[in-house]
Amino acid sequence: MAKRIVVDPIPRIEGHLRIEAKLDENNVISDAYSSGTMWRGLELILRGRDPRDAWAFTQRICGVCTTVHALASVRCVEDALGIDVPTNARIIRNLMNATQQTQDHLVHFYHLHALDWVDVVSALSADPKETSDLAQAVSPSWPKSSVGYFKDLKVRLTSFVESGQLGIFSNAYWGHKAYKLPPAANLMAVAHYLEALEFQKEIVKIHAIFGGKNPHPNYVVGGMACAIDPNKDTAINIEQLNQVKRIIDQTQTFIDQVYIPDLIAIAGFYKDWAQWGGGVGNFLSFGDFPETDVDDPSSLMWPRGAILNKDLSTIHDVDPHSLSEIREEVSHSWYSYTDGDEKGLHPSEGQTNAKYSGPQPPFEHLDVDNKYSWLKTPRWKDNPMEVGPLARVLIGYVKGVPMLVDTVNHVLKTLDVGPEALFSTLGRTAARGIECKQTSGFMRHYYDQLVANIKKGDYQTFNNEMWNPDQWPKEAKGFGYTEAPRGALGHWIHIKDKKIEDYQIVVPSTWNASPRDSKGRSGPYEAALKGTPMENPEQPLEVLRTIHSFDPCLACASHIFDVNGDEITSVKIS
Amino acid sequence: MRINVLGLGNTMFGDEGFGVEVIRYLEKNTDFPENVHLIDGGTQGIYLLDYIESADYLLVFDAIIPVEYDRQVYLYKNDELPGFIYRKMSSHQVGLSELISLARLQNKVPKDLILIGIPPADLNMGVGLSDTVLALVPTAANMGIDTIKSWLNGKE
């Protein structure tokens, strides 16, 4: 092999996450601090631009979930200008959103989070016969479960590892005592890691069909940019709809026969994780998947609401338009507000004045008593809130959303635990799988809706009534929301003289990774890490398990401190 | 034969968007046959795996940090590209090297893989490349065009 040159692609930029955790004398995490160490001032880039272009810029914020920002952005402009989108556009947006959710959850589980629970090196010592027996017991209908299949995989994996190309599996904590799966289960999981890798490539083809291209599918204020005509080659036609249907069939099969059985099988070995990682116990969802009107919360397939103090008897109403409910504080964030940093501001009146007051890098510790993060601190009715799959599943479960309730009960019953087990790292990870099953069902639901609507002769995808800026009011404000895979996402726009006067975005990871608020209360990551015992602080696998369970939209460096506050190890992720 | 030309980077952060800008340049200034696919990959990470694995020949444009700053535009071939990755906190942190590693594990590495990169001059938030890097776009693109032509002509 030729000389190796290190080519280091620039880290993909979405902000970086740093966790500082304090340990007590028993290596239990006594306190934790979460810091976004990179400034995101996207709002400033949007000022002065055409509101109809905002989606194309905002979809570049996040490396991966481009469509969610595009969706929230077109919705906020439509809200400001009073635009109703055609039925087909609503359905296609829902279908693309369900596709994104499904693919994102699948990739998160297998290609990031699974390696926190699955020991790849242990898989090399698995017996293929035993693995085959296990796979057939776990998922009797899934065909890829023969002895020969696992034998071949073991050979391939062994030669990959022995060639020194541990590659994707290098730099992990293999052999860590916190890994509990037997070798056969590890080998089965690695097989599914690779199968999921192949499969996820198919799912997203739906975005290319409806968005014109992928990555970065096209959205448009007023509808969708794709034309529908069952008989034309240049439009969405029968052939393409059939392809979408095939992908949906395969997706549901994969989720039902691989993801859910794996989730339950793996979770069975880690039931102790139902006691750690619970977090703040407050949950928020804006809701999504409008059946009729995006402005009507009662039409949302994912209900809107909030849970406080783990109290599953009450779902609180949420009004994201209300200026009094959501506030962003900067008491521990490197920003300043013109009227003082003590009082939070609603995002529609938000300010993005960066003011770094932390230590100059390289530094050992953040000054956690003062400001220590580039993330603001969003609060709902003054409470720190967790957003994401667990929030949505809990709210949907309490509200009795059909099928979701069945899946939750099935998982809980199989694992022989009660609903309280959901308030944990394990619960968060299970919720993502439960939700993935639900969204793969949504894909079919919206496909059926779309076909039915086209059969009625409705081909309209775009409402151009307000496309011309001359028709716009001199000034308008709007709110656009979606539930991204990681949780509630809000875009707030202020349009003045046909241009963007102000634009504020509150992303899910800001809710979850937020620093302390003005009252000193921890954010969800910070709270979730407290009380977790660590097997070996030099290898902070437990921190990764809990932080990964939130599916952070951030690059991260995790720093572990011992009781004296000295840094034991730093796990840099670039 | 399928040739994928993949531009990587985040267009919101100055020169980070170099790879995407080269794709836009090629879209405007070239007219290759249908089997040459110009792809604005952005920062799509693992979701770009299909564009790596489906390629017989793969050309990537990206902002890079070289070991030595001795050139303006860098070109790396096949084994010169490392296939390692780092522990990551987010599934969004999947770079080119990890994609190559995944493709290797699946035995789906392109016959030829070439990366053309420039070191960024300015990574501050903002749309558009710095003057320094913008001036290098045609140079980098022309190196890429030569590469694509040699593949089309079967010389590689």
A63-84 per-position pLDDT tens digit:
667 789 999 999 999 999 999 9
Give residue-wise pLDDT tens across range A202-225.
998 999 999 988 888 899 999 999
Mean pLDDT of A100-116: 92
**CA gap B96, B62 in Å, rounded:** 9
Q: Which two tokens stand for residue A185?
A: 């289960």
* DSSP letters for A146-177: -HHHHHHHHHHHHHHHHTT--GGG-SS-TT-T
In this prediction, what percent of chain A has a pLDDT beyond 70? 90
Q: Which two tokens stand for residue B77?
A: 């071939």
Nearest residue in chain B measured CA to CA from A5: B80
- Interchain CB distance below 8 Å, B12 and A17: no
**CA gap A420, B135 in Å, rounded:** 60
Tell me which residue has tokens 């089965």.
Answer: A188
A556 in active site: yes
Give residue-wise pLDDT tens across range B60-69.
998 887 777 8
pLDDT band per the 50, 70, 90 thresholds, residue A554 = low
A66 touches chain B (CB under 8 A): yes
pLDDT band per the 50, 70, 90 thresholds, residue B84 = very low
Residues in chain B: 156
Per-residue pLDDT at A559 exceeds 60: no
Question: E strands, A266-309, where?
Answer: 283-285, 288-290, 300-302, 305-307
**CA gap A44, A50 in Å, rounded:** 13
Q: Which residues of A touch B88 (CB under 8 A)?
A: 112, 555-556, 573
Give residue-wise pLDDT tens across range A272-331.
999 999 999 999 999 999 999 999 999 999 999 999 999 999 999 999 888 899 999 999
pLDDT reported for residue A391: 98
**CA gap A38, A50 in Å, rounded:** 27
H or E element in which residue A570 lies? strand A567-571
Contact A561, A567 (CB under 8 A): yes
- Interchain CB distance below 8 Å, B47 and A62: no
pLDDT band per the 50, 70, 90 thresholds, residue B141 = very high
Is the peptide bond preceding residue A215 cis, with omega within 30 degrees of 0? yes
pLDDT band per the 50, 70, 90 thresholds, residue A4 = very low
Per-residue pLDDT at B82 exceeds 90: no
Q: Which residues of B touch A5 (CB under 8 A)?
A: 66-67, 76, 80, 82
- Dihedral class, residue B78 (left if φ above 0, else alpha if ψ from -120 to 50, else beta): left
Give residue-wise pLDDT tens across range B22-60.
999 999 999 999 999 999 988 777 888 899 999 999 999
Q: Which domains, ranges and CATH numbers included, belong to chain A?
A: 16-328+379-571 (1.10.645.10)
**C-alpha distance from B152 to closest chain A C-alpha (Å):** 24
H/E/C letters for each residue in A363-411?
Answer: CCCCCCCCCCECCCEEEECCECCECCHHHHHHHHHHCCCCCHHHHHHHH
pLDDT band per the 50, 70, 90 thresholds, residue B125 = confident
Closest CA to A380 of A440, A431, A319: A319
Give residue-wise pLDDT tens across range A244-253.
999 999 999 9
Give residue-wise pLDDT tens across range A257-272.
999 999 999 999 999 9
Per-residue pLDDT at A407 exceeds 90: yes
Contact B10, B17 (CB under 8 A): yes
**CA gap A204, A98 in Å, rounded:** 11
Tell me which residue has tokens 């028993």.
Answer: A26
**CA gap A215, A222 in Å, rounded:** 21
A486 in active site: yes
Closest CA to A542 of A530, A552, A533: A533
Domain count, chain B: 1
Per-residue pLDDT at A167 exceeds 70: no
Mean pLDDT of A392-413: 96
Of A14, A44, A165, the CB nearest to B104: A165
A445 in active site: no
**CA gap B14, B16 in Å, rounded:** 5
Beta bridge partners of A328: A345, A378
For A339, residues 6+ apart whose C-beta sits below 8 A from its C-beta are none
**CA gap A402, B5 in Å, rounded:** 45
Contact A8, B64 (CB under 8 A): yes
**C-alpha distance from A395 to closest chain B C-alpha (Å):** 25
**C-alpha distance from A16 to closest chain B C-alpha (Å):** 9
What's the mean per-residue pLDDT of chain A? Answer: 89
**CA gap A59, A66 in Å, rounded:** 4
* Listed range (A283-297, A373-387, A497-511, A560-574) with the worst mean pLDDT: A560-574
Residue A328 DSSP SS3: strand
Of B13, B87, B107, the CB nearest to A13: B13
Looking up residue B93, the CATH number of its domain turns out to be: 3.40.50.1450
* DSSP letters for A525-565: HHHHHTT-B-S-TTS-HHHHHHHHHT--SSEEEEEEE-TTS
Per-residue pLDDT at A172 exceeds 80: no
Give residue-wise pLDDT tens across range A329-354.
999 999 899 999 889 999 888 887 88
Contact A257, A196 (CB under 8 A): no
**CA gap A270, A267 in Å, rounded:** 5
Mean pLDDT of A156-183: 81
H or E element in which residue A254 lies? helix A238-254
Strand order in the sheet with A567-571: A29-36, A16-23, A555-561, A567-571
Contact A285, A387 (CB under 8 A): yes
Interface test with chain B among A4, A12, A546, by most B beta carbons within 10 Å: A12
pLDDT reported for residue A233: 84
**CA gap A79, A338 in Å, rounded:** 28
Per-residue pLDDT at A8 exceeds 70: no
Determine which one of A65, A76, A226, A436 is catalytic.
Answer: A65
pLDDT reported for residue B124: 76
**CA gap A537, A177 in Å, rounded:** 12
Residues in chain A: 574
pLDDT reported for residue A66: 76
**CA gap A24, A452 in Å, rounded:** 61
Q: Which residues of B touch A3 (CB under 8 A)?
A: 80
* DSSP letters for A475-529: EEEEEEEEEETTEEEEEEEEEETTEEEEEEEE-HHHHHH----TT-PPPHHHHHH
Residues A57-60: contacts with CB within 8 Å, 24+ apart?
A: A57/B12, A57/B127, A58/A491, A58/A505, A59/A216, A59/A219, A60/B10, A60/B11, A60/B12, A60/B42, A60/B43
Interface test with chain B among A64, A102, A165, A525, by most B beta carbons within 10 Å: A64
Mean pLDDT of A27-55: 85
Q: Which two tokens stand for residue A369?
A: 């008593």
State the CB neighbour count (10 A cutoff) for residue A499.
14
Is the peptide bond preceding residue A533 cis, with omega within 30 degrees of 0? no
- Torsion A184-A190-A192-A195 (CA) sign: negative
**CA gap B10, A40 in Å, rounded:** 13
Per-residue pLDDT at B87 exceeds 50: no
Question: E strands, chain B, where?
Answer: 3-8, 36-42, 57-65, 74-77, 112-118
Per-residue pLDDT at B100 exceeds 70: yes
Residue B47 lies in domain: 3-152
**CA gap B67, A199 in Å, rounded:** 36
What is the number of helices (H) and of strands (E) in chain A?
Answer: 17, 14
**C-alpha distance from A110 to closest chain B C-alpha (Å):** 10
A155 touches chain B (CB under 8 A): no
H or E element in which residue A67 lies? helix A66-81
**CA gap A41, A27 in Å, rounded:** 38
Count Cβ–Cβ pairs < 8 Å, chain A vs chain B. 194
Give residue-wise pLDDT tens across range A491-549.
999 999 999 999 988 889 889 999 999 999 999 999 999 999 999 887 888 988 998 89
Higher local confidence (pLDDT), B48 or B81? B48
**CA gap B144, A78 in Å, rounded:** 41
pLDDT reported for residue B102: 82
